[in-house]
Chains A and B, each alone.
Chain A
């Protein structure tokens, strides 16, 4: 296989997860912070807040997972190597 293609694929795989993790990381931090604030203000609503928080965290995490899917397809199912 072309070594240039494989080198580029590996770098791109690393970057795709790394870059995709930045935005959701910031977003998850803000969401968790707001949830903690909400619980501190209204401890009786903790269960509801926790459910909503987990749901929205999973939504944000999905964005990183898309990057991961791109990385995995670059590593294991690269269309440019065969």
Chain B
């Protein structure tokens, strides 16, 4: 029965294994191999798409170039809406990369039938359902808004910690920790929640019923990619303002 084993860590929920990883030991560090494999798949996919889009550039875009230009315009708009017309350009690569990577990870986990590939331990799924991936991404965002602020204002950047009044200093410092925390938990929780909901429903009713939830999951995970990149742009905008 489930209840007795559910509390005992590694659990099988109709195939979704929480807390089971395929470990790679490299130079004394254990890595979650299944995450790396899917990440490399996503990176390869994005590289191929961008190479196809830029290999034969034409004045009037057709096919892949057209599609990639549309994608770029979309991600440019994310940066432009938050950072403003005059500052957004240098941040477009970072924001676009974040959006495309998270979007690719979420959809790769939802759309590719990873069950075909057997691993000795754990299973292939969306890389963003591992807290380490999302924490790494959000720490990257923290690093870049500090970098942007320091580069724009020098040490005067730290003036914003006592900006309205010095009484708010502890809260302003705390904010630097809660920003990556909430960014990473939001993405991780949403992706894992989608996968768990689908798998629990598949235990109860294996056919048809989980389909709308899967559709909702695909929609929600693309929204999460949008949210993550929008918030990253908003944090950077706050720092360089």
Do A75 and B223 form a contact, CB below 8 Å, given A68-B193, A69-B189?
Answer: no
B204: Cβ under 8 A from any A Cβ: no
Among A58, A69, A75, which residue has its beta carbon within 8 angstroms of that of B6? A75
Check if B7 sits within 8 Å of A66, measured CB to CB: no
**CA gap between A77 and B6 in the complex, in Å:** 11
Secondary structure at the B interface, as helix, strand, loop or mixed, is helix
Do A58 and B224 form a contact, CB below 8 Å, given A10-B6, A65-B185?
Answer: yes
Please give the distance in Å from B47's CB to the nearest CB on chain A. 29
Among B3, B8, B189, which residue has its beta carbon within 8 angstroms of that of A65? B189
B72: Cβ under 8 A from any A Cβ: no
Residues on A with C-beta less than 8 A from B3 are 10
User: What 0/1 pattern do residues 51 to 62 of A give for CB contact below 8 A with B?
Assistant: 000110011011
Check if B188 sits within 8 Å of A75, measured CB to CB: no
Please give the distance in Å from B198's CB to the nearest CB on chain A. 15
A1: Cβ under 8 A from any B Cβ: yes
Do A62 and B7 form a contact, CB below 8 Å, given A55-B230, A72-B192, A76-B18?
Answer: no
**CA gap between A9 and B182 in the complex, in Å:** 24
**CA gap between A66 and B193 in the complex, in Å:** 11
**CA gap between A15 and B192 in the complex, in Å:** 19
Can you pick out 17 interface pairs between chain A and chain B where the beta carbons lie within 8 Å of each other?
A1-B7, A10-B7, A54-B226, A55-B226, A55-B227, A58-B223, A58-B224, A65-B189, A65-B190, A66-B182, A66-B185, A68-B189, A72-B189, A72-B192, A72-B196, A76-B11, A77-B9
On A, residues with C-beta under 8 Å from B are 1, 6, 9-10, 54-55, 58-59, 61-62, 65-66, 68-69, 72, 75-78, 81
